[in-house]
A and B are shown apart, each in its own frame.
Chain A
Amino acid sequence: MKGSLESGSRLLLLLVVSNLLLCQGVVSTPVCPNGPGNCQVSLRDLFDRAVMVSHYIHDLSSEMFNEFDKRYAQGKGFITMALNSCHTSSLPTPEDKEQAQQTHHEVLMSLILGLLRSWNDPLYHLVTEVRGMKGAPDAILSRAIEIEEENKRLLEGMEMIFGQVIPGAKETEPYPVWSGLPSLQTKDEDARYSAFYNLLHCLRRDSSKIDTYLKLLNCRIIYNNNC
C-alpha cells in the first residue's frame, strides 16, 4: 500500500518534470518583473524583448543626434573631429555582414554586453551634463534620460539571454572605460559642444551595432536563419 503510494507520487513527479521540460520554450510567459532568477522565460521572448529595446534605443539615439546637430552643430564642422573619437573602438566588433556571420554567437554576445556596459557611465554623465546645458531643449534631455533607462534594461535582458544560451559562461570580460567627462565639462563652449557631438555620434553608432548584432542573433538562434 505504502509502496504503491510512493511509486505513484514518484510517477507524478516525473510526469510533472517531463512536462515542464517539454513545454519549455513553447509557451511564452511575460518577462519576470522581479528580475532574473525568479521565473522561467522562454528564450524567444527574451530575444523579442531585447530586439525591441535595442531598436528603440537606436531610434532615440538617431533622433537625439539629429536634434543636437540641427541646434548646435550647424556649420561648425564638428564632424571632422568626430572621427576616431569613440571610446569603444578598441572592441573588436565585426565591420560587415560576412565578418558578423562568421563570428560565433558567444563572441557576439559578449561584445554586445561589453558595449552595453561601457555605455552605462557615459549615459549617466550625459544626462547630468545635458541638464546643465544652457537652454537644452527638452527633446534632447528627455531622450537622454530614456536611453539611459533602456540601456540598463537591455543590459539586464542580455545577461539573461547570455545565461540561457551559454550556461555557465563567465562574463567578466573587461569593457572599455569612458574618460570623456572633463571634455563635457570644459568652459570653452565650442569644445564642449564638440565633445557632446562626439558622444552622441558614438552613441548612435554603437546602438546601431548592438541592434544589428541582436537582430542577426535572433534570426540565427531562434529562427534558424529563416527569418
Chain B
Amino acid sequence: MKENAASRVVFILLLFLSVSLLNGQSPPEKPKLVKCRSPGKETFTCWWEPGADGGLPTNYTLTYHKEGETLIHECPDYKTGGPNSCYFSKKHTSIWKMYVITVNAINQMGISSSDPLYVHVTYIVEPEPPANLTLELKHPEDRKPYLWIKWSPPTMTDVKSGWFIIQYEIRLKPEKATDWETHFTLKQTQLKIFNLYPGQKYLVQIRCKPDHGYWSEWSPESSIQIPNDFPVKDTSMWIFVAILSAVICLIMVWAVALKGYSMVTCILPPVPGPKIKGFDVHLLEKGKSEELLRALESQDFPPTSDCEDLLMEFIEVDDCEDQQLMPRPSKEHTEQGVKPMHLDLDSDSGRGSCDSPSLLSEKCDEPQAHPSKFHTPEGPEKLENPETNLTCLQAPQSTSVEGKIPYFLANGPKSSTWPFPQPPSLYSPRYSYHNIADVCELALGMAGTTATSLDQTDQHALKASKTIETGREGKATKQRESEGCSSKPDQDTVWPRPQDKTPLISAKPLEYVEIHKVSQDGVLALFPKQNEKFGAPEASKEYSKVSRVTDSNILVLVPDPQAQNLTLLEEPAKKAPPALP
C-alpha cells in the first residue's frame, strides 16, 4: 500500500516536471547585486541584476539585516532608485554599521536568492557631478582678461556642516584639441582661466570626489566661444620691460667704458708692491745713492713709534718644555746700548728663556711652507712674541739653503736705542730674503749709510741681528752665509769674517766685534769676540768703541788704552754705496 502511494507521488512529480519542461518554465535564476552607492553619506541605493526568469513572471524582493541585529527587513523603497533598485532613506541608513543585503527572485516555480552583499555605507560614497556649471568671459580694465568658471556642489551633499568634504576637478580644452587642461580645487566653487586662445571654442567639464570615496561622473560638457579680438597678452608690460632693460644695459656699458679700469681694480685689487718707507726706486735707478740715502734719512729716519709698532708684533712662543736658558749675557758689557737688549731678553714674562735661538728655530720650522713672501708686510712666517720682540725670519729655498736662517732681532723698546741701523721694514720678521747675498748687501748698505750712528751697541746689535741659530744647521748656514758674504768685495768692511770655527754654537745672541786690523785704505776688519774660546789666531784682542759719527759718514773710534793697534779710522763714504744693491 505504502509503496504504491510513494511511487504514485513520484510519478506525479515527474509528470509535472516533464510538463513544465515541455513548457519551458523553471524557477528563476539567482539574481546578482551589482552595486550600492551613497551620494551624500546620508542615504544609499542598491541595484541588482536579475537572472533568467524561468519563463514565469518573477518578483524580486530585497531583504537585509544590520550588523548586530537579528531582525530581517525588507527594502523600504523600490521606486526611487529606478528599476531593480532599492533606496534606503535617511531613516534607514546607519553609517558605521554593516548591512547584509540579499535579493530574492520569486516565481511560481521557486525562489532564488542572490549571494549576500556586505555593505558599509562609508565606503560606497560616490557623489553626483557638480551642478550649475556656468562659463563667463571677463574683461577687467586694468588686468588681464580671463574665463570665469562657476559651479555649485552636487545635490544631496551637506558641505556646509562639514559632514561631506569635497574636492573638484575641472578640465577644459579647445574643441579640436586632444589633450585636456586640468585644474583642482578643494573647497572653492569657482575658477579663473587665463591664457586662452582667441577665436577658439572651449569645452569645459567638471567632476568631484569626497574625502574618502569615488569620483563622480563628468558633468555634461559646457562650451564657450572666445571672440577673435580677445586680448591674450598684455604687451605693454613687456615693452616697458624691454625698454628698461635696454636702458640699464646702456648705462652699464657706459659706466664700464668710462671707469673700466677703476671698476676692474675695485673688483680685483692689485697686489701691492713692496714699499720701503722713504725708499725711492727711481732714485735708485738713477744711481744717485746720496739722494736716495738722504731721502731715506729724511723720512723720519730712524723710525720711532711706527718702528716700534712694527717691531712689536712678533713671535708668540707657546709652551716650551725644555727651557733652554739663554746664556746670560756677560755682565761685563755694561754699555748703555747693550743693556736694554739684555733686559729685553730677560725681562719678558718668563719667556725669555724660551726664546733661545734653538727653540725659536724650531718654531721657525713651521712656516717653512711659505717661502719668499717677500714683499708683503704680512708675511705668514712671522712668529709672534710681542714680549720679547724677537722675530724670526726665514730664508726661502730659492737659494737652496736647506735650513733656515732665522735672524734674531732684539729690539729695544726705546727708540733712543734703536739697535738697527736699518729701517725695520727690511729686517722685520715679515720679510724673508731671497738670498743671503741680498741680505748681506742690504745689511751692508744700511750699515754703510748709517755708519755715522754706529756705536758699540749697534755693532753688537748687528751681530745679534746676524745671530745664526746654533746647531748643525746653523753652522752650515752661517758658513754659507759668510761665504756668500765674503764673496762680495766690500763685505769684509763691516761684517765679521767668521773662521771655520763658527763661534755661535752656544746660542749666545750677542757677539762683540773685535777689530782685527785696519787695512791701509781704512777698512775695518772685524772679528767676533768668541774667538778666544777656540783659540784665536791672533793674540790681540782689541775692542773699539765708536765715540761719534761725523757728517760724512765717518766712524770715529775711541782709542782703547789697552789696545795697541787702535787708530782713528776713517771709513770713506764711497765704500758704502757700492755695497748697495
From A217, which residue of chain B is reached at the shortest CB distance?
B162
Interface residues of A in 185-227 (CB under 8 A from B): 205, 208-209, 211-212, 215-220, 223, 225-227
- Interface check A6, CB cutoff 8 A: no
The reply to whether A97 and B120 form a contact with Cβ atoms under 8 Å apart is no
Q: Shortest Cβ distance from A109 into chain B, in angstroms?
A: 15
Q: Which one of B91-99, B139-147, B227-235, B420-428 is at the interface?
A: B91-99
Set of chain A residues within 8 Å of B211, measured between Cβ atoms: 55, 211, 215
Q: Shortest Cβ distance from B98 into chain A, in angstroms?
A: 6
The reply to whether B162 and A220 form a contact with Cβ atoms under 8 Å apart is yes
The reply to whether B68 and A227 form a contact with Cβ atoms under 8 Å apart is no
From A219, which residue of chain B is reached at the shortest CB distance?
B162
- Interface check A173, CB cutoff 8 A: no
Q: Shortest Cβ distance from A213 into chain B, in angstroms?
A: 10
Interface residues of B in 130-169 (CB under 8 A from A): 158-163, 165
**With known contacts A59-B212, A62-B212, A205-B120, A225–B161 Cβ distance under 8 A:** yes
Set of chain B residues within 8 Å of A74, measured between Cβ atoms: none
From B120, which residue of chain A is reached at the shortest CB distance?
A205
The reply to whether A227 and B160 form a contact with Cβ atoms under 8 Å apart is yes
From B162, which residue of chain A is reached at the shortest CB distance?
A219
Interface of B is mostly: loop
Mark A80-106 against chain B: 1 for CB-CB distance below 8 A, else 0.
Answer: 001110000100010111101100000
Q: Shortest Cβ distance from B73 into chain A, in angstroms?
A: 16
A-B contact count (CB 8 A): 71
Set of chain A residues within 8 Å of B212, measured between Cβ atoms: 58-59, 62, 208, 211
The reply to whether B161 and A101 form a contact with Cβ atoms under 8 Å apart is yes
The reply to whether A96 and B94 form a contact with Cβ atoms under 8 Å apart is yes
Set of chain A residues within 8 Å of B94, measured between Cβ atoms: 95-96
Out of B42, B118, B161, name the residue touching A216 (CB < 8 Å).
Answer: B161
From B163, which residue of chain A is reached at the shortest CB distance?
A97
- Interface check B32, CB cutoff 8 A: no
The reply to whether A227 and B162 form a contact with Cβ atoms under 8 Å apart is yes
Chain A: interface residue total (CB-CB under 8 A): 31
The reply to whether A96 and B67 form a contact with Cβ atoms under 8 Å apart is no
- Interface check A17, CB cutoff 8 A: no
The reply to whether A225 and B160 form a contact with Cβ atoms under 8 Å apart is yes
Chain B: interface residue total (CB-CB under 8 A): 26
Out of A59, A89, A93, A215, name the residue touching B162 (CB < 8 Å).
Answer: A215
The reply to whether A208 and B187 form a contact with Cβ atoms under 8 Å apart is no
- Interface check B122, CB cutoff 8 A: yes
Out of B41, B90, B97, B161, name the residue touching A220 (CB < 8 Å).
Answer: B161
A77 to B14, CA, bound (A): 38
The reply to whether B42 and A97 form a contact with Cβ atoms under 8 Å apart is yes
The reply to whether B96 and A93 form a contact with Cβ atoms under 8 Å apart is yes
**With known contacts A59-B212, A205-B122, A209-B96, A96–B162 Cβ distance under 8 A:** no
Interface residues of B in 84-114 (CB under 8 A from A): 90, 93-98, 100
- Interface check A79, CB cutoff 8 A: yes
A223 to B97, CA, bound (A): 29
Which of B67, B118, B162, B212 gathers the greatest number of chain A CB atoms within 10 Å? B162
Out of A59, A96, A220, name the residue touching B42 (CB < 8 Å).
Answer: A96
Out of A93, A205, A209, A212, name the residue touching B163 (CB < 8 Å).
Answer: A212
The reply to whether B68 and A89 form a contact with Cβ atoms under 8 Å apart is yes
From A227, which residue of chain B is reached at the shortest CB distance?
B162
From A215, which residue of chain B is reached at the shortest CB distance?
B162
The reply to whether B120 and A216 form a contact with Cβ atoms under 8 Å apart is no
Set of chain A residues within 8 Å of B163, measured between Cβ atoms: 97, 100-101, 212, 215-216
A62 to B159, CA, bound (A): 23
Q: Shortest Cβ distance from B154 into chain A, in angstroms?
A: 15
A97 to B43, CA, bound (A): 10
The reply to whether A208 and B160 form a contact with Cβ atoms under 8 Å apart is no
**With known contacts A205-B96, A219-B160, A227-B160, A96–B90 Cβ distance under 8 A:** yes
**With known contacts A83-B67, A205-B122, A227–B161 Cβ distance under 8 A:** yes
Set of chain B residues within 8 Å of A79, measured between Cβ atoms: 118
Set of chain B residues within 8 Å of A101, measured between Cβ atoms: 161, 163
Interface residues of B in 301-342 (CB under 8 A from A): none
Residues of A at under 8 Å CB distance from B? 55, 58-59, 62, 79, 82-84, 89, 93, 95-98, 100-101, 205, 208-209, 211-212, 215-220, 223, 225-227
- Write 5 A-B pairs (CB below 8 A) sorted by A numbering: A79-B118, A82-B98, A96-B94, A205-B96, A225-B161
